[in-house]
Amino acid sequence: MSYSLLSSRQPILDKMVFFCAVIQTGSFREAAIQQGISPAAGSRWVKELEDVLSVELVKRSTRQLVATQAGQLLYDQFSPLLPDINNLCEEVQNLAEKQQGEIRLSSTPLFARQYLTKIVAEYMEMYPKVNFRIFIEAGEFDPLLIDFAFRASGSFEDQPKPDSLLVRRRLLQEPLYLCASPNYLAEHGMPENPNQLSEHRCLYAQTLLGGNRWSFEINGKQEIVIIRDTLECDNSEMLLDLALGHAGIAYLPHSLVNQKLKSGELLHILPTYQCATFDIDLYYRPRAPMPERCNSFKQYLFERVNSLSA
């Protein structure tokens, strides 16, 4: 019976994949968006699948949809096969010499502006059949929906990193500077030690340096300061603009503030203390084999980040 179903003119596998998406999302509309078809077409697919299998799979109402016993059986048995089917398709794609398909990236705003935009543009020029979908964000991401994620963090070299099932590769590392505008410091005073930062307006990113816990080191001794909860923003360029606008003291990477420090628009605070480093890491899930378009882009990414940062 299964042979006759698979050899029929009905695209039964596509319909079964869509049916699983309906059960997983609990919505025809969400499943249709996920699968890239219209809700009307998706509803018709499930009805046609029911006709082919001669059994009701979904009980519909205006408020909810529920899988029937047969529908639940189909979902329980078929949905675990989807990752293997997807991996098989990607493995077959790897046999093609030409790169094609979509690469999904999640990046912090600063890395996207300084590096990723140029690198992606170059790669699209070299491989016109490779498409990109880029999400500019600084927080958590779903590794099942993203091929590569770029995240910033601040740390000392001996600080342990959290365990993760994802592969983590260091892309960049540069010093962080504590800085503020001359106008702000003239009005509020220049801090002479880290503890005095608690008396100042401080600008920070929750994803960097543990949020409002700033760490400093001098003569091998580490000092941690809990700063006032003044302003939080996970966009380093906006924090720079706020610092230039005399809003407070910011903790920002070298590449962003170097010219402002040279011009005197910002002043370096506590220069005798060792601050944390600003790290950009690449995260991706281990896949064997990795699709050729992703593997090749990863290698090109490392080469271009090294050359651009130099």
162, 212: one domain: no
Is 167 in the same domain as 291? Answer: yes
In a domain, 4, yes or no: no
Residue pointed to by tokens 């002479």: 192
Structure tokens at 173: 């590392």
Q: Distances from the Cα of 52 to the Cαs of 10, 48, 151, 209, in angstroms?
A: 8, 6, 47, 57
Note whether 177 and 230 are same-domain residues: yes
Task: Supply 307's token pair.
Answer: 């050359």
Retrieve residue 181's tokens: 């505008």
pLDDT at residue 185, as a whole number: 96
Which pLDDT score, from 0 to 100, does residue 278 have? Answer: 85
155 membership: H or E segment, kind and range: strand 148-155
In 3D, which of 174, 187, 156 has the Cα closest to residue 267? 187
Q: Rounded to an integer, what distance in angstroms lies between the CA atom of residue 44 and that of residue 28? A: 10
* Pair 48, 194 in one domain: no
DSSP 35-81: HTS-HHHHHHHHHHHHHHHTS--EEE-SS-EEE-HHHHHHHHHHGGG
- Say yes or no: 72 and 167 in one domain: no
- 3-class DSSP assignment, residue 286: coil
Domain identity same for 52 and 178: no
| Alpha helices per DSSP H over the chain | 2-6, 12-25, 28-35, 39-53, 69-78, 82-94, 109-111, 117-126, 182-188, 236-244, 254-263, 292-309
**pLDDT on residue 2:** 46
Show which of 25, 51, 78 is a domain's final residue: 78
Task: Tell me the two tokens of residue 7.
Answer: 């050899």
The DSSP symbol for 14 reads H
- Say what the pLDDT of residue 37 is: 87
pLDDT digits (tens, 9 = 90+) for 144-163: 889 999 998 876 555 545 55
Domain that holds residue 186: 173-277
Kindly state whether residues 159 and 186 are assigned to the same domain.
Answer: no
- Regarding whether 50 and 87 lie in a shared domain, the answer is no
* CA pair distance 15, 55, nearest whole angstrom: 14
Q: Could you give the number of structural domains in the chain?
A: 3
What pLDDT score does 264 carry?
96
User: Which domain CATH number covers 258?
Assistant: 3.40.190.10
- What's residue 62's pLDDT? 66
Question: CA nearest 277: which of 154, 152, 114?
Answer: 154
Task: Tell me, yes or no, whether 251 and 182 share the same domain.
Answer: yes
pTM: 0.64
Residues of the chain with pLDDT under 50: 1-3, 160
Cα separation, 173 vs 75, in Å, equals 46
Burial of 160 (0-12, 13-18, 19+ CB in 10 A): exposed
Domain-located, residue 6: no
Instruction: Verify that 195 and 149 share a domain, yes or no.
Output: no
Q: Among residues 53, 78, 103, which one ends one of the domains? A: 78
CA–chain centroid gap for 175, Å, is 23
| Chosen domain end from 41, 58, 78 | 78
Determine which helix (DSSP H) or strand (DSSP E) holds 175, and give its type and residue range.
strand 167-180
Q: What is the pLDDT of residues 176-232, one digit of tens each?
A: 889 999 999 999 999 998 889 888 998 877 666 556 777 788 887 888 888 876 777
Q: Say if residues 239 and 233 touch (Cβ distance below 8 Å).
A: yes
